[in-house]
Amino acid sequence: MRAGGNIIGPMKHGRSRISALLVAALLVAVAACAERRSNVEFSIRRDRVLDDVLKNTRTLKVYRDLDTIFIADVLWYKPELRRAFVASLKEEGRINDEQAATMTDEISKKEGRELEFIVGFYTPDKSWNDLDAVHSMWRLALKGGGGEPVAPERIEKLRVDKMQDAWLFPFITPWKSAYRVTFARKGSLPGADRYALRLSSVVGEGSLVWEPSK
């Protein structure tokens, strides 16, 4: 019987340890759920802005036979989107009233002078991905309505990890390069309600179109 008693003691002790581990695991799971829930609440505040991003993003995929030539995801980065981004920063406490006013004022100054697009660009050959190069193999042109196409005023390659508003561009993946393409509001661009952005090169070409909401 003593031998039996020696067996029962460790079994009870083992069960206690298992119960304690289960309780600890449950507490960790509850904490993780709470953390995930707060993240969901955080993202909900941004849903409206991201919905507008998706509405203003166009995708162009060009293939030859079964080979990808290029993939371009392009967001027309409207002033309304940029103001919404500033509002989200202020709501989250990341900027104060004075900073928000300064950023909003800067957006207003550019609104009448420029059209801005954010481009996520993929090419299978990295040497092709040179939109910002002086002697790039690509030509970009923006046409307003039925007018003549206008060349970009500047093209800037972006460091996404350095951008405060990077979350606005979910289409930019590690396989794509990111660019900011800016057009001066001149020629056919001022007052147009329809825009067509054309990308062309010796390897492929295509257009992305933004039309008035129906």
pLDDT in tens, 72-83: 999 999 999 999
Q: Please report which confidence band the pLDDT of residue 46 belongs to, taking 50, 70 and 90 as the band edges.
A: low
Q: Is 77 exposed, middle or buried, given 0-12, 13-18 or 19+ CB atoms closer than 10 A? A: buried
Is residue 117 within 8 A of residue 197, CB to CB? The reply is yes
For the entire predicted model, the pTM comes to 0.75
Residue 139 in tokens: 């030509």
Q: Please report which confidence band the pLDDT of residue 136 belongs to, taking 50, 70 and 90 as the band edges.
A: very high
Question: Residue 100's Cα: distance from chain center in Å?
Answer: 21
Q: What does the alpha-carbon distance between residue 49 and residue 168 come to, in Å, rounded to a whole number?
A: 8
Residue 187 in tokens: 């020629």
For position 36, what pLDDT does the model report? Answer: 45
Q: Please report which confidence band the pLDDT of residue 71 belongs to, taking 50, 70 and 90 as the band edges.
A: very high
For position 12, what pLDDT does the model report? Answer: 47
For position 38, what pLDDT does the model report? Answer: 41
Residue 1 has pLDDT above 80, yes or no: no
Q: What does the alpha-carbon distance between residue 6 and residue 138 come to, in Å, rounded to a whole number?
A: 82
Question: Residue 130's Cα: distance from chain center in Å?
Answer: 20
Q: What number is the average pLDDT over the span 172-197?
A: 92
From the list 189, 213, 175, the residue with the least C-alpha distance to 73 is 175
Q: What number is the average pLDDT over the span 156-175?
A: 87
Q: Please report which confidence band the pLDDT of residue 94 belongs to, taking 50, 70 and 90 as the band edges.
A: confident
Q: Which residue do the tokens 């989107």 mark?
A: 81
Residue 95 has pLDDT above 80, yes or no: yes
* b/e per residue 176-191 (b: at least 16 CB within 10 A): bbbbbbbbbbebbbee
Q: What does the alpha-carbon distance between residue 116 and residue 79 come to, in Å, rounded to a whole number?
A: 9
Q: What does the alpha-carbon distance between residue 81 and residue 210 come to, in Å, rounded to a whole number?
A: 15
For position 188, what pLDDT does the model report? Answer: 84
Residue 169 has pLDDT above 80, yes or no: yes
Q: Which residue do the tokens 């050959």 mark?
A: 125
Dihedral pair phi/psi, residue 165, rounded to 5°? -95, 20
Residue 18 has pLDDT above 80, yes or no: no
Residue 144 in tokens: 């307003």
Residue 43 has pLDDT above 50, yes or no: no
Residue 6 has pLDDT above 60, yes or no: no
Residue 141 has pLDDT above 80, yes or no: yes
Is residue 140 within 8 A of residue 131, CB to CB? The reply is yes
**Sheet strands side by side (includes 177-184):** 57-64, 67-76, 114-122, 177-184, 154-157
Question: Residue 96's Cα: distance from chain center in Å?
Answer: 24
User: What average pLDDT does the chain have?
Assistant: 83
Is residue 100 within 8 A of residue 86, CB to CB? The reply is yes
Q: Which residue do the tokens 């001149």 mark?
A: 186
